[in-house]
Amino acid sequence: MASHANALGAPIERREGRAKVTGEALYATEYTPPGCLYAWPVTATVARGRIASLDIADALALPDVVDVLTPESAPRLGTSDDATLAVLQDAKVPHHGWPVAVAIAGTIEAARAAAEAVRVTYATEPHESVLGDNTADAYRPEEANGGHPAERRRGEPEEAFAAAPVRVDVRYRVPPLHNHPMEPHGATVNWHDGRLTVYDSSQGSDTVRSVLADLFGLPEEQVTVISEHVGGGFGSKGTPRPHVVLAAMASLHTGRPVKLALSRRQLTELVGHRAPTEHRLRLGSDVDGTLASVIHEVTTHTSRVKEFVEQAAVPARVMYASGSSLTDHKVAALDVPTPSWMRAPGEAPGMYALESAVDELACALGLDPIELRARNEPGREPDSGLPFSSRHLVECLREGARRFGWADRDPRPGIRREGAWLTGTGVASATYPVLVSPSRATVTAHPDGLHVVRVNATDIGTGARTVLAQVAADALGVGVESVRTEIGSTGLPQAPLAGGSSGTASWGWAVHDASRALAGQLQCHTGPLPPDGLTASADTKGSADQRSAFARHAFGAHFAQVAVDTDTGEVRVRRLLGVYAVGRVLNARTATSQFIGGMVMGLGMALTERGSVDPASGAFIGSDLAGYHVPAHADVPAIEAHWIEEWDDHLNPMGSKGIGEIGIVGTAAAIGNAVHHATGVRFRELPLTPDRVH
Ligand code: MOS
């Protein structure tokens, strides 16, 4: 067999790129089965209470309107673990934006007009929707997200902090944030001949299938969910969302296909958000910078529908050696939409606070912030005591410093003036855990030389098709152009979601194993292949799991250069540079895109993105793209992403760590630290908008 050893890692263009930019690639609400109807949700305009009256007569009188489903007429749902999906089941309103009805019509315009003509009155109750006034009500949950204990204590952190000669005791705040994928959430559902065919914008269609089967009392075999192309998710499409339940209700009720696409405003209240976090950081060190105590305490919010605890103090359990530490989470259940996953949940806000505080300690010590981090590099994971499978954080910091020109930096803050502008530079570390889940896959060798990979992976914009073809080509020892990848349907072998930066490791492991099995079969095979080809399958249940004798994490270093307008308070980022240690990089081009995408999202978190809950109504206000500024081209400066060679045998057969999330993790802290270096002022609440920086 010819050697094609360079398939893995090569900067191959993503295969569906042309289909996407020419409009050939179909997204969930671009399918229009014959006879398709359109649905538009009616959402609650109060933060807490009950529906007192719901009058659909005016709506039904409008042209082209088919029906309006209400809590009285909607199908009864079976049980689900996720209470956010129990829509139209009773008259209770748990938060602003909760669905209270869904209008169904022949066109999207008619459906929207009908939704607006539904008259709803509410019996309201007093509500609390803004974190901060409610901190006293916050309780310590049993666990933070990811199954992490809410509180961990090592040694005597308070005593060690009090005794430390150099101390930093600071508070940081991160507001609610919205995922705002380019493609809003939507679904097209077709109930026909006792089968449910669902096109959903989801990060994991196998879960959508099993949840819909449970909710509607259908055998899974009668449900097919297709998520062939997905225009971003960032976690907000990681679990089934109410839109697909409402669309399925409407299709079952009418017996016709139904399409439902959420508007931007509906999206912010129905698909989760990053919960706001308040951080208190106490770092105590020796005069040489050796940490004696790390204390990171987080307060966040959840809804009254479901407990969701952003695990923002968890990265402090991984990052630095210290004599003692305390990491703790508290959560207040408020009358707000239910928060959910958003890129690097836990790590993004947690590392913003921790890495800002580390910068403050470096300033207090008069020590270079890279040197301070290097002095506290742990030999083992501090809280667990486990050895790291690989950890090259200091190498990332040093390589970044070399590329960025850090050695020439004058550490004094507030002294570099260019007219009205002050300039500065900052650095921060990043970390993200190595996650992996079991997956199945098949690989078929056809007589014409084609190899077909089948796995229900989801491509949320990452290039999954392309990298899985590379994994298969490498394991089969064939050219990558001879491999076709079929993904994005529950008709394919079962696979986990595109989330937790674990997709490529999870699917790729199964694709690798199936490819190696097929290569073995092909070696023993004599004569021509049968017309259907030869197929090998793999199931990594039993091999791909989260348990390891090693602490497994990716690491990175972020550098930022900023200019701050001293008249207006405007912050412009001039340069961002990231260096990552993420095991083996499997496609240099798509990996670069992922890193840069994460850094752009971190730039938005640092400077412009802020979800605001209106205390009077409990609504997210200014949450469409006019009021919630996601970075546009003019905001995005020169961005570079690099990585260092890292070989780690304790990960998966490809030797890769996840890369989808780490790019956002340290970016906001690096920018905030650069703003301090520029101005000499420490701003501790994101985003760094002109009204705050002025
Ligand atoms: Mo990502 S927030 O793990 O989908």
Q: What is the pLDDT of residue 136?
A: 81
pLDDT surpasses 70 at 5: no
Q: Is the pTM of this model over 0.80?
A: yes
Q: What is the pLDDT of residue 6?
A: 63
Question: Per-residue pLDDT averaged across 594-613, rounded?
Answer: 97
Q: What is the pLDDT of residue 545?
A: 82
pLDDT surpasses 50 at 3: no
Q: What is the pLDDT of residue 622?
A: 85
Q: What is the pLDDT of residue 78?
A: 97
Q: What is the pLDDT of residue 132?
A: 85
pLDDT surpasses 80 at 2: no
Rounded to the nearest whole angstrom, what is the distance from the C-alpha of residue 18 to the centroid of ligand 1?
A: 26
pLDDT surpasses 80 at 501: yes
Rounded to the nearest whole angstrom, what is the distance from the C-alpha of residue 597 to the centroid of ligand 1?
A: 14
Sorted by where each starts, the structural domains of the chain and their CATH numbers stand as 5-25+436-539 (3.30.365.10), 31-126+182-232+237-270 (3.30.365.10), 135-177+273-434+549-693 (3.30.365.10)
Question: Per-residue pLDDT averaged across 180-191, rounded?
Answer: 97
Return the SS3 of 303: coil
Q: Name the helix (H) or strand (E) containing 567.
A: none
pLDDT surpasses 80 at 4: no
Q: What is the pLDDT of residue 546?
A: 80
Rounded to the nearest whole angstrom, what is the distance from the C-alpha of residue 548 to the centroid of ligand 1?
A: 22
Question: Per-residue pLDDT averaged across 80-95, rounded?
Answer: 97
Distance of CA 249 to the CA centre of its chain: 28
Return the SS3 of 58: helix
List all residues whose CB is within 6 A of at least one atom of ligand 1. Answer: 203, 233-235, 238, 341-343, 345, 499-500
Instruction: Give the position, in ligand 1's atom list, of the atom nearest the Cα of 460.
Output: 4
Beta-bridge partner residues of 547: none
Rounded Cα distance, 660 and 459, in Å? 12
Rounded to the nearest whole angstrom, what is the distance from the C-alpha of residue 310 to the centroid of ligand 1?
A: 12
Rounded Cα distance, 47 and 337, in Å? 9
Give ipTM to 2 decimals: 0.97
Instruction: Give the position, in ligand 1's atom list, of the atom nearest the Cα of 236.
Output: 4
What would the pLDDT profile of 412-463 be if each residue is shown by its tens digit?
999 999 999 999 999 999 999 999 999 999 999 999 999 999 999 999 999 9
Instruction: Give the position, in ligand 1's atom list, of the atom nearest the Cα of 341.
Output: 2
Instruction: Give the position, in ligand 1's atom list, of the atom nearest the Cα of 660.
Output: 1
Question: Active-site residue 418, yes or no?
Answer: no
Question: Per-residue pLDDT averaged across 498-522, rounded?
Answer: 98
Q: Structure tokens of 177?
A: 């944030």
Residue % of the chain over a pLDDT of 90? 96
Rounded to the nearest whole angstrom, what is the distance from the C-alpha of residue 499 to the centroid of ligand 1?
A: 4
Rounded Cα distance, 514 and 445, in Å? 11
Q: Is there a contact between 257 and 33 (Cβ–Cβ < 8 Å)? A: yes
Question: Per-residue pLDDT averaged across 227-232, rounded?
Answer: 98
Instruction: Give the position, in ligand 1's atom list, of the atom nearest the Cα of 498.
Output: 4
Rounded to the nearest whole angstrom, what is the distance from the C-alpha of residue 363 to the centroid of ligand 1?
A: 34
What would the pLDDT profile of 24-69 be if each residue is shown by its tens digit?
999 999 999 999 999 999 999 999 999 999 999 999 999 999 999 9
Dihedral pair phi/psi, residue 302, rounded to 5°? -135, 180
Residue % of the chain over a pLDDT of 70? 99
Instruction: Give the position, in ligand 1's atom list, of the atom nearest the Cα of 237.
Output: 4
Q: What is the pLDDT of residue 488?
A: 98
The tokens 């506290």 sit on which residue?
376
Question: Per-residue pLDDT averaged across 600-623, rounded?
Answer: 96
pLDDT surpasses 80 at 377: yes
Identify the residue whose C-alpha is closest to ligand 1 atom 4: 235
Rounded to the nearest whole angstrom, what is the distance from the C-alpha of residue 658 to the centroid of ligand 1?
A: 11
- Active-site residue, selected from the candidate residues 143, 399, 661, 685: 661
Return the SS3 of 119: strand
In 3D space, the residue among 560, 452, 557, 574 whose CA is nearest the CA of residue 511 turns out to be 452
pLDDT band of residue 547 (cuts 50, 70, 90) is confident
Q: What is the pLDDT of residue 1?
A: 41
Residue to probe by mutation, ligand 1, list 504, 661, 664, most atoms within 8 Å of CB: 661
Cα-based distances in Å from 404 to 398, 453, 503, 579, 662:
10, 41, 31, 10, 19
Beta carbons within 8 Å of 634's beta carbon, 6+ residues apart: none
Residue to probe by mutation, ligand 1, list 145, 341, 659, most atoms within 8 Å of CB: 341
Rounded Cα distance, 689 and 205, in Å? 38
Residue to probe by mutation, ligand 1, list 207, 343, 458, 459, most atoms within 8 Å of CB: 343
Identify the residue whose C-alpha is closest to ligand 1 atom 3: 500
What would the pLDDT profile of 562-582 be if each residue is shown by its tens digit?
999 999 999 999 999 999 999
**Whole-number average pLDDT of the chain:** 96
